[in-house]
Amino acid sequence: MSDIANALRDLKEDEVKKLVDRRLAAGEPPVSLLAELNQGMVAVGELFSEKKYFISQLIFSAEILKNVMAKLEPLLQAGPQTESKGKVVIGTVKGDIHDIGKNIVAALLKGAGFEVIDLGVDVPGEKFIQAVRDSGAKVLGMSALLNFTYPEMKTVVESLAAAGLRDKVKVMIGGAPCNEQVRAFTGADYYAPDAVAGVNICQEIYA
Ligand code: B12
């Protein structure tokens, strides 16, 4: 693991900030730091699973990452102002309040010129459907970090069909525990392992 990932895993806030500042000052693009930060958070999650970290440490890791992202997000969004490339509805599914990854995806999409309709966290299915209908977005992105929310994503996909919207919108899912199998279970069209992959998928859809 990199020095940034290690510092985040060890909850050394000042160290994380210092390393991030140093790499940005050296001219490194902010997007290249995301994978390392993510690695650090995965390591925190593992320590939590092993009962070596408790919920307080999970909360603290999120605080550290949120503070770092407050610096990185404006940089990720700082693309040249162009005409909207298209609309994307995004949110974290009902029952789940994890939003750091979803916010990164939203920031990168904005930076790439997409109009993002961010519904926030713990989003009920009806709200996703309503937003897709009202906005005419061709992409719906759902974030899920808790495995017991997979059925919720499946329900949203089925509700899109029931509302006559399924052929008008592509559904993309993401979040640490998601994978291709989860995508197949939910009936979503795409699974994105990270935010950059998510942006690439949107670019393909709107090409
Ligand atoms: C920080 C954290 C928290 C914070 C969240 C704060 C916040 N505002 O988000 C807090 C402390 C609140 C929290 C709470 C809980 N958490 Co938590 N948490 C984490 C942790 C350590 C990091 C998550 C994170 O921010 N990662 C960094 C971001 C950048 O990564 P990411 O979200 O995966 O996003 C990237 C990609 O996945 C992708 N992506 C994400 N979403 C989307 C969406 C789309 C559309 C696309 C295209 C891409 C995409 O792009 C992102 C950037 O590349 C994870 C560990 C892990 N492995 O992820 C556990 C983890 C997710 N949590 C877990 C658990 C169990 C919980 C709790 C139930 C704990 C408890 N007992 O209360 C609660 C649940 C609360 C709830 N109802 O939601 C488990 C889930 C296990 C499971 N598979 O179901 C994990 C995996 C930890 C573990 N190993 O046990 N958590």
CATH number of the structural domain spanning residue 175: 3.40.50.280
> What percent of the chain clears pLDDT 90, i.e. is strictly above it?
86
- CB of 40 shorter than 6 A to ligand 1: no
Coil, strand or helix at 111: helix
Residue 81 within any structural domain of the chain = no
Residue 135 near residue 158 (C-beta atoms within 8 A): no
My answer on whether 105 and 60 are in the same domain is no
Residues 102 and 146 in one domain: yes
Let me know if residue 82 belongs to a domain.
Answer: no
Give pTM, 2 decimals: 0.94
Q: Is the distance from the beta carbon of residue 97 to the nearest atom of ligand 1 less than 6 Å? A: yes
Same domain, 97 and 179: yes
CB of 105 closer than 6 angstroms to any ligand 1 atom = yes
Q: Could you tell me which residues are beta bridge partners of residue 140?
A: 89, 171
Residue 191, domain member (yes or no): yes
Q: Which domain holds residue 15?
A: 3-76
Which residue matches tokens 């906005």? 135
What atom in ligand 1 is closest to the CA of residue 44?
A: 21
| Residues 50-108 pLDDT 10s | 999 999 999 999 999 999 999 998 888 876 666 789 999 999 999 999 999 999 999 89
